[in-house]
Amino acid sequence: MTTKPALTLLCLLAPLLAVADVLDDYGDLISKTVLMASGLPRLPDSLIDDGPADQNSPIARIENALSQQGVEVVQDGPHFVRVFRKDARDSLTNAPLRGAQLALAKDSGGGGPGLVDFRNADLSQVLEIHAALSQRTVLRPATLPALLINLTTRGRLTRQEAIYAIATVLALNGICLMDDGAKFVQAVPTVQRTAVTTGAPKPEPGATLFDPDKVPSLGLSPIPGPQRETDRNAAQRLLEFYADLAAKTAVPEPKFERASIWFHISTPLSKSELLYAIETTFALNGFAIIPVDDHSIRLGRPAQVPGNNGRRLEAPQPDR
């Protein structure tokens, strides 16, 4: 994947019709990008508009008002500030503060991405932008919370800082991104992060790579908003694609024939990486690939695979 299309996509997906709130003004006042959870209490515009008779600065008024609403403000290096409910302080453990560290690091990503502007953006769109910036394929369950993400960067960020900003905002909204090898990132609800196993194969020098544009994309239709429809046969069709790669035959399992799944490749992958991506996608959706005989496979549940840890699909074993 080249950098230029990713940046064009970044601009096209930024929703244009949204009203700035006090936290937008707060970011402008302190010249930092606000990393925040959605659904924070809305503050009155008067916090900005109060005249000089008020002894406190607009910055202090906003921070005091947030504190009174049970919202914490934590500085995160020279370019970021985090804003979240005090009862969500564990987000600092799930997504440690790295703003100062990234500010000192040299950018090896070919320059910054320019303005990132998400105003009530759909989670799937945000994950697509993260994939483009990080040049990783997102592996995820079909069902993730229907979140609306807000992130507007201020000042010029490096590519790594932009990636960090998106990942942190997702963490503040209950979505954990876990890097998996050199080419993947797994996106799961934070409450499920301890049940995820990462084990992507290492890149194979000289291996033939599959063009992402020629690998089936399955799951939700690309139409955002109310018209979006779920592909109800995606799981069986993904199994059929896997079977073709593995020189097997996919046997339909009636109770899973209409099961939905989400699968989209963003980066060129070798055959072993592509097989891993499919196996992991099934595992994230609670499925496993079960051998029927030496030449055919079907969909099943991880409990049907002896020795499977129930988290990530291991080498399939025959049913007992």
Q: 7: which 2 tokens?
A: 């940046």
Asked if residue 320 lies in contact with residue 272, where contact means CB atoms within 8 angstroms, the answer is: no
Q: pLDDT truncated to tens, each residue of the chain (320 aa)? A: 444 444 444 444 443 333 348 888 899 999 999 999 888 888 777 776 655 555 578 899 899 999 999 999 999 999 999 999 988 887 788 789 999 999 998 765 555 666 788 888 999 999 999 999 999 999 999 989 888 899 999 888 999 999 999 999 999 999 999 999 999 999 999 999 888 999 999 999 999 999 999 999 987 544 444 444 456 688 999 999 999 999 999 999 998 878 888 999 999 999 999 999 999 999 999 999 999 999 999 999 988 665 554 444 343 333 33
Domain match, 166 and 286 both: no
Q: Looking at the structure, do residues 25 and 143 belong to the same domain, yes or no?
A: yes
158 burial (CB, 10 Å; 0-12 / 13-18 / 19+) is: buried
Q: Which phi and psi (to 5°) does residue 121 adopt?
A: -80, 145
Q: Residue 97 maps to which CATH number? A: 3.55.50.30
Q: Does residue 320 lie in a domain region?
A: no
Same domain, 190 and 70: yes
| Assigned domain for 131 exists | yes
Same domain for 11 and 134: yes
Q: Residue 229: exposed, middle, or buried by beta-carbon count in 10 A (0-12, 13-18, 19+)?
A: exposed
Looking at the structure, tell me whether residues 143 and 17 fall in a common domain. Answer: yes
Farthest-apart Cα atoms in the chain, separation = 82
**221, 166: one domain:** no
